[in-house]
Amino acid sequence: MLALAGYQLGIEFRFFDPNAGAPVGQIGQLIAADYGDQAALERFLEGVDVVTYEFESIPVSTAQDRLLEKQLFTDLEIPTPPFAAVDNIQDLQRAAARIGLPLVLKTRRMGYDGKGQAVIRDAASLEAAWEQLGGSPLIVEQFVEFQHELSVIGARDTAGREVFYPPIENVHREGILRKSTAPAPSVSPELASVAIEYCRRVMDRLSYVGVLALELFSADGVLLANEMAPRVHNSGHWTIEGAETSQFENHLRAVLSLPLGATTLRGNTVMFNIIGHIPPMDRVVAVDGAHLHLYGKAPTEKRKVGHVTLVAPAGTDLEPRASAVRAALGLGSDVS
């Protein structure tokens, strides 16, 4: 999606991925090798002016560690759920006594879409959670009884100029993003300003360049930072049709020192991820205004293989069309 946004700007691309079957190979030159393959990296870099990434789990030490992330939020006076580092079962037991149950135990590195996590609801489950995830550095956090999951996406360029998209309301099931709505219907203008300010603090502290997403819980009117994603983000895929400038184009503009584009919304937007199967295309595109994106990925269980976006003028009821898309995708009523 970064490349598709950049080709219209006349940008040329080369891609590096350990998977020789990566879908991006369908649209450009792909260097397929392990991240540690120095010769392959040198071939990849030959003649390249700018390198960026869309997946943070590569062998670098920045923005991968959930403990360092939470400590950064605390330093920036961004509220978070109570947390503690866990290196052994005794650490976990002490954290449970201090923070209280329920808890979420997570690997500090790697893990996404619900992977590398265990919910601990009672003291009897502490040992089992440790057995499941022990062996790698961990963090444990208070399980938050939130009303809404939100994200806010910002872009910052090489000169420190910034733009922000309005907060997005997200629905996850089994740790996987299923639906995003923009602007978030549950967020007041005042709360939106707070969310954007938190994202701004993170980007400014890191002297960040590119698109960054900050994921938040909204609990009883208070925003708690969950984690950040230093890249273009799944909850911002709707911006392709739903905003004047997509997150993908703004990321490219930022890293290439081009003027950032307007983030003005084109209306109310809802996006559904397509997970684990390819839906009947005719049913999806039959829905008025449905924008279908398939990624060229082989469908496997719980794998995101595409998304559908609906956009309508502000004040328009999107629910009838959203209901039709849910039905076409085979989504249950819990994704509403």
Does residue 152 surpass a pLDDT of 80?
yes
d(CA 248, CA 331): 27
Residues 6+ away with beta carbon under 8 Å from 6 = 13, 248, 249, 252
Residue-level pLDDT at 94: 95
- What is the average per-residue pLDDT within 131-157? 94
Q: Helices marked H in the chain — which ranges?
A: 2-7, 38-45, 66-75, 89-99, 126-133, 189-206, 239-242, 247-255, 281-285, 319-329
What is the phi/psi pair of residue 143, to 5°? Answer: -75, 120
285 or 59, which is more confident: 285
Residue-level pLDDT at 136: 85
d(CA 292, CA 329): 11
Residue-level pLDDT at 60: 61
Does residue 62 surpass a pLDDT of 70?
no
60 or 311, which is more confident: 311
Residue-level pLDDT at 65: 87
Residue-level pLDDT at 312: 94
Residue-level pLDDT at 109: 83
Residue-level pLDDT at 291: 98
Does residue 31 surpass a pLDDT of 90?
yes
d(CA 226, CA 150): 10
**Whole-number average pLDDT of the chain:** 94
Does residue 129 surpass a pLDDT of 70?
yes
What is the phi/psi pair of residue 79, to 5°? Answer: -60, 145
Q: Does domain 148-329 have CATH number 3.30.470.20?
A: yes
Q: Does domain 82-142 have CATH number 3.40.50.300?
A: no
Does residue 61 surpass a pLDDT of 80?
no
Does residue 134 surpass a pLDDT of 90?
no
- What is the average per-residue pLDDT within 304-318? 94
Q: Which percentage of the chain shows pLDDT scores above 90?
A: 88
- Nearest to residue 70, comparing CAs of 60, 57, 83? 83
Q: Angle between the 89-99 and 126-133 helix axes, to the nearest 10 degrees?
A: 130
Does residue 332 surpass a pLDDT of 90?
no
Does residue 63 surpass a pLDDT of 60?
no
What are 193-216's pLDDT values in tens digits? 999 999 999 999 999 999 999 999
Grouping H, G, I as helix, E, B as strand and the rest as coil, residue 90 is helix
- What is the average per-residue pLDDT within 93-122? 87
Residue-level pLDDT at 335: 86
Does residue 273 surpass a pLDDT of 60?
yes
pLDDT band at 175 (very low <50, low <70, confident <90, very high): confident
pLDDT band at 11 (very low <50, low <70, confident <90, very high): very high
Indicate the domain borders of the chain.
Answer: 2-34, 82-142, 148-329
Extract the tokens encoding 24: 């991006």
- In contact, 236 and 247? CB cutoff 8 Å: yes
Residues 6+ away with beta carbon under 8 Å from 21 = none
Does residue 135 surpass a pLDDT of 90?
no
Strand extents, DSSP E, the chain: 14-17, 29-32, 83-86, 103-107, 117-120, 138-142, 148-156, 162-164, 168-173, 176-182, 210-219, 222-229, 268-275, 290-294, 304-312
- In contact, 234 and 274? CB cutoff 8 Å: no
- What is the average per-residue pLDDT within 243-271? 98
Residue-level pLDDT at 59: 64
pLDDT band at 324 (very low <50, low <70, confident <90, very high): very high
Residue-level pLDDT at 113: 58
d(CA 236, CA 178): 13
- In contact, 218 and 146? CB cutoff 8 Å: yes
d(CA 52, CA 336): 35
